[in-house]
Structure 1
Amino acid sequence: MPYPFFGDSKSTIAQLLATLPQQGRLEWIGLRPARRAELEAVPAAEVMTNRHLAGDHASPKPGGKRQITLIQAEHLAAVAGFLGLPAPVEPGRLRRNLVVSGLNLLALKGRQIQIGDEVVLDVTGECHPCSRMEEELGPGGYNAMRGHGGLTAHIAQGGTIRVGDAVRVLDAPQP
């Protein structure tokens, strides 16, 4: 049976955007114990509904759109490549909370995702790099991260997440 969208002149952008049959995997979790502190990799974390990760110094306002940050694992090698580094960049250097593999995170903007059995995130927007990337990665760090900075999300439902948890798309894109 042919794939329904190939050669189908009636396919719409909405149909194409809604087609994400695969699932991803949570590869890394990082917490910042204090402002400007190095991120600490942890095997599991408690995600607090409408707040942040327990143990992370960040304390976004309830209802905020930047309660947790995600970056795509596949982009760690791309950023390293742009900087001429021989190996992927260590996730903690990029200052994001979660590293996810197997899903194109940019396709998730405006969508809802589930991590493990409990946690649900509303993906709210892109997480653009800041000048800290020059400090952390050296000259060109900011530009190496452009287009590879990941996403921000609101925590719709908390719970426990663990490295290795499945990451699944729950709904169709928002209009």
Structure 2
Amino acid sequence: MAFPFFGDDKSKIAQMLATLPQQGRVEWIGIRPVRREPLVSLPEVEVLTDARLHGDHARVKAGGKRQVTLIQHEHLQAVAGFLGREEPVDPGRLRRNLVVSGLNLLALKNRRVQLGEEVILEVTGECHPCSRMEEELGPGGYNAMRGHGGLTARIIQGGLLRVGDAVRLLPAEAQAAPE
């Protein structure tokens, strides 16, 4: 018996990959004003085109693939569970800039998304955990974050971003041509 989405018809898979009707939401924004210092949680931030979040210490290059980092809100509880904790992990401890809820961030990899009214990001890859997770989360922090580290993105168009702003996949015609 053939399954409707498998077999020789790759266009159906391409169609499914291009379809993401769900809309997400920005739940948290954080910047790192100083290297190795705690993140500062903000209600809004100016996103600088092809650069970084205003006030973040990160040194990024134009066209760089890691200008901003995102993590899925739903993964905060999963990471806490792997650490044997009841409460979700504080997003500031994970050293990511944006926490997004309501959609599967991995489905956005290599795609362009709009956040709020102005900001457009191109999701460039996975953001794997680093050894700092042992410092931030305690023993086992690195392994708890594996597979839950979030994604990196390049800022295509800047603007003002606020907690509560919508996150949505841009239509196919707004996606960049493969590089």
**What's the TM-score, normalizing by structure 1?**
0.93
**Distance in structure 2 (CA, Å) of the matches to 1:97 and 1:171:** 25
Letter in structure 1 aligned against 2:88: P
- Name 1:146's counterpart in structure 2: 146
- Name 2:78's counterpart in structure 1: 78
Unaligned runs of 5+ in 2: none
Shift of 1:23: 0.5
Unaligned runs of 5+ in 1: 1-5
- Name 2:28's counterpart in structure 1: 28
CA RMSD of aligned residues (A): 1.6
Q: Does the alignment pair 1:69 with 2:101?
A: no
- Name 1:17's counterpart in structure 2: 17
Q: Is the 8 A contact 2:109 2:124 kept in 1?
A: yes
Letter in structure 2 aligned against 1:13: I
Query: Which has the higher mean CA deviation after the structures are superposed, 137-146 or 165-174?
Result: 165-174
Structure 1 residues 4-31: Cα deviation after superposition (integer angstroms, max 9, x where no partner): xx84675621111112101000000001
**Distance in structure 1 (CA, Å) of the matches to 2:147 and 2:53:** 25
Q: Is the 8 A contact 2:5 2:12 kept in 1?
A: no
Query: Which has the higher mean CA deviation after the structures are superposed, 13-22 or 157-166?
Result: 13-22
Q: Is the 8 A contact 2:113 2:122 kept in 1?
A: yes
**Distance in structure 2 (CA, Å) of the matches to 1:149 and 1:137:** 13
Structure 1 residues 122-142: Cα deviation after superposition (integer angstroms, max 9, x where no partner): 000000000000111011100
Letter in structure 1 aligned against 2:139: P
- Name 1:135's counterpart in structure 2: 135
Letter in structure 2 aligned against 1:118: E
Q: How many residues align?
A: 170
